[in-house]
Structure 1
């Protein structure tokens, strides 16, 4: 998936070299996570090189060229079975669009097939055949219907009635699970027939919506591939404006191409990497992944309730001390006057 969005032989080679250097540099050190990341970068580079040959792209050019020497002209390559070519996606948008959709269909079917294997391994074979395999048939039938007859709904309803390709699996998804009660499947014995029918109906509707949204998500393969190639075309065109002016212009052109490629690889590479991860986690892993580790508990501040505690300070402030002194001085002065009056009355 990364290669389809980042298809360029030159950029792929750079990723392969970077990943390989990272693996060799840190293989004897403690940092397995970083080494695994370097392996991922290397594999992404391999995918980019393979798709780069299909796109006919080498650093934005349609030939493998270093300086003024041309080593190989990149010719269109046809994909077996599909009989289509992805050469120069900017001029071949529909072929790349169809291929992106087919890749999405294959990826989703692969996820459901892994789900089927998990059901089989868990001893839930009936559920695997009436759920995962039926969904594979439903998606495959819908793909054949669209690619063969397009969106001409009237042709769907004419002989040989191709609408049945996705319709029959959808009906089977509703009605097959209740047969588990008849066959006395152990993990369905606590379910009611009505509940299974209702669950199957909702699941069919949900599957239909998820198929449309999930397949649409793979159109990003086309969008990001076109964005990547368009950026390289722009950089190459700007570099060609400086040609034909001597060695100084050649050096400036070379520096501009190097920095332009670096910017595209960093920005576009990050964007493509994030989208590739998203397609794997949300469209692929959600079909079969079951968490069995420690629940993630994010750090948060409890700001729903606040407790205010009023506490009299043991240390008096300046104002309080002045007031106390004034009171004490007045009391002492009054006592002195009273004592003098008492003595005067006694001896005078």
Structure 2
């Protein structure tokens, strides 16, 4: 398998290769990995000035990698550049410039002032990411002609419909206070559960795939699977709260920086106050940048890739013949 992506997405092949290579019967997840990683990092590290600094660091790292002919270093620099751009964009949305929220106006909202809105946004983002991951698994299963997996298994269409319905019903109840109708619950909750519960029978009858176990074992296995899926999807969704939590952490460190500077000089014009502001921003860029990168990777690998990625492909290596000189 050879990964072929446009220049913007190519650096993120490094993240995909870390988990393994997609096989020929899998969709290359690099473009979606790039989009989701950039979005999560920007949400957590939203600051216009600090984002521009990250872009500069990424540019330097990319040039060093190019000079030393190290592709991984070049790709890491490319990732840092794009993440810096995302952080700058969200900095404009948050109204944050070098840790200060009083220099430029927020085009969206200040995270520290709208905590519930921030958490709701990150949870909804997680719902979309998980649903997209399930869709990719369904497509991969169809490519492998594994129709039982695509339609009835733990990451198949039945579970996708069930998960989406629960989210939609919950949002509608939160907005209107109305419970879903019995027809809607039957069609989008009970029916997918029935299909999942009968997956062994349906797979055997419709697609001649395997045979169900004994009835008692099959019932126990199905009940345990339903509990596992419910807990797993709930945990996966709630896990995206960490995106909002680290956005608040970023804002908190910024407040601490300017509070310390204000203790030295309330006007923040003295050399001591400026030194605290500069070194505070350097610390936030290094520490928070590393943490946000790690958390973005964690969500990518466990919550997103875990829904569809197998990574059992082999890197394409063209066959070459070495010429051997001989005297005549």
**SS state of the match for residue 178, structure 1?**
helix
Matched residues in 1 for 2:116 and 2:228: separation?
29
Alignment of 1:157-306 (within 5 A): 159=181, 163-164=185-186, 165-183=188-206, 185-186=207-208, 188-192=209-213, 194=215, 199-241=221-263, 242-244=265-267, 249-292=269-312
- Measured after TM superposition, the shift of residue 93 of structure 1 is 0.9
Q: With a CA cutoff of 8 Å and minimum separation of 6, indicate the structure with the bigger relative contact order.
A: 2
Give the match for residue 130 of structure 1.
152
The gaps in structure 1 that reach 5 residues or longer are: 66-72, 78-86, 295-348
The residue number in structure 2 matching 1:329 is: none
Q: Which residue of 1 aligns with 2:122?
A: 100
- Cα distance, 1:213 vs structure 2: 0.9
**Structure 2 residue 75 is the aligned partner of structure 1 residue 75:** no
Q: Does structure 2 retain, via aligned residues, the 8 Å contact 1:10–1:58? A: yes
141, 147, 163: which is aligned to 2:171? 147
For residues 131 and 63 of structure 2, the distance between their equivalents in structure 1, rounded to whole angstroms, comes to 36
1:186-234 alpha-carbon deviations (Å, 9 max, x no partner):
4x13445846665444322211110111111111111111111011022
Cα 1:193–1:124 shift into 2, 3 Å:
farther
Taking structure 1 as the reference length, the TM-score comes to 0.69
Task: State how many pairs are aligned.
Answer: 270
| Offset, 1:27 | 0.9
| Alignment match, 2:55 | 16
Does the CA-based 8 Å contact 1:145-1:162 persist in structure 2? no
Q: Which residue of 2 aligns with 1:88?
A: 110
Tell me by how many angstroms 1:253 deviates: 2.5
Aligned counterparts of 1:256 and 1:217: Cα–Cα separation in 2:
34
Query: Is the Cα–Cα contact under 8 Å of residues 4 and 51 in structure 1 kept in the other structure?
Result: yes
Query: For residues 20 and 206 of structure 1, do their structure 2 counterparts lie closer, same or farther at Cα, with a shift above 3 Å needed?
Result: same
The structure that has the greater radius of gyration is: 1
Could you tell me how far 1:160 is from its partner in structure 2?
A: 5.5
Q: Give the CA deviation at 1:98.
A: 0.7
Greater shift in the superposed pair: 212-221 or 250-259: 250-259
Cα–Cα, structure 1 residues 244 and 6, in superposed 2: closer, same or farther, change >3 Å? closer
Deviations 1:91-128 (A, max 9, x none): 11111111110111111112111211210111113421
Q: Cα offset for 1:291? A: 4.0
Aligned residues of 1:181 and 1:193 also touching (Cα < 8 A): no
